[in-house]
Amino acid sequence: MGKLAFVFPGQGSQSVGMGKDLADQYPEVMNYFQKADEKLEYPLSNLIFNGPKEELTQTFNTQPALLTTSIAILSYFQKSGIQPDYVAGHSLGEYTALVAAGVLSFEDGVYAVRKRGEFMENAVPNGQGSMAAVLGLDREPLFQITNEVTESGFPVSLANLNCPGQIVISGSKKGVELAGVKAKEAGAKRVLPLEVSGPFHSPLMQPAADKLLHVLDGIELKDAKVPVVINVTAEPVSSATEIKEKLIEQLYSPVLWEDSVKTMISLGVDTFIEIGPGKVLSGLIKKIDKTVKVFSVSDQESSLTVLEALKEEKQ
């Protein structure tokens, strides 16, 4: 068996009731939800388990909710003793990966992403920024298009390079619209506007990055116990100092997810386990490389299925 990577989902994977079945059965899992409530001085667990959905999808709620649920699920799964060789997460999921790698304490992670969500929400006045998924166009022509549109006075840039033929662009509302039109003219199959509250992972997030730096200055970051393949460079990093720099850059830089997965594969990873709600990353990884094994763990049943599959491979 080759190497193993744990990957953690970002915004868009949340759903009302996530993690509840495990929390109801296992006090040690519920403990994470309670710790999050205490740290944020707010009943986040009630919002996660019972909704309403509209409130859960607000960025400053979604981020701590996903980190809490993913780490709670991880705590159950890791009772099996399985350890990863690498960890990574998509955007917000990078913070979950850092908690998993011992860089951030759980409480500091929850606090940091709550603040990160608030700063992202407030960085650009509502309705002035947007994001769209461009399907069926390579990164080079799309990069040229976003540069042209930006030079014409309407900032837009590549935000998430998810998998071949799926790239998210982000920027000013007009910039995203113009780039979408040009992308279709250049052969993109579809351009889908995303329901988000701001132009994430674009230079317009610089004000949020400046504020986030103050928050991270007040938190202890340790060197990673397991290398973290980070969004900004798609390279494994263990140094706390470097991780902190990259977390700030991550807010206004593209998420190099496709490259990150390819890096892990080049380092010998042949098994990916997505830990947390949903299967978004599992789907992307399969599109990046069909030869690797991909599993997702979101509850007790999926956890047992994955453990069984890994046991069989070892035999």
Residues tagged active-site? 91, 201
Q: Cα–Cα distances in Å, from 207 out to 121, 242, 256? A: 11, 21, 22
Q: Assess contact for 47 and 65: CB atoms under 8 A.
A: yes
Q: Which two tokens stand for residue 5?
A: 């990577």
Q: Cα–Cα distances in Å, from 18 out to 24, 49, 106? A: 11, 6, 18
Burial call 223-258: b when 16+ CB within 10 Å, e when fewer? ebebbbbbbbbbbbbeebebbbbbbbebbbbbbbbb
Helices marked H in 195-279 — which ranges?
A: 206-217, 240-250, 257-266
Nearest one of 85, 90, 10, 12 to 257, comparing CA atoms:
90
Q: How many CB atoms are located within 10 Å of the residue 184 CB?
A: 15
CA distance 6 to 149: 37
Amino acid present at 286: K
Q: Edge-to-edge strands of the sheet including 156-163?
A: 156-163, 166-172, 129-135, 190-193
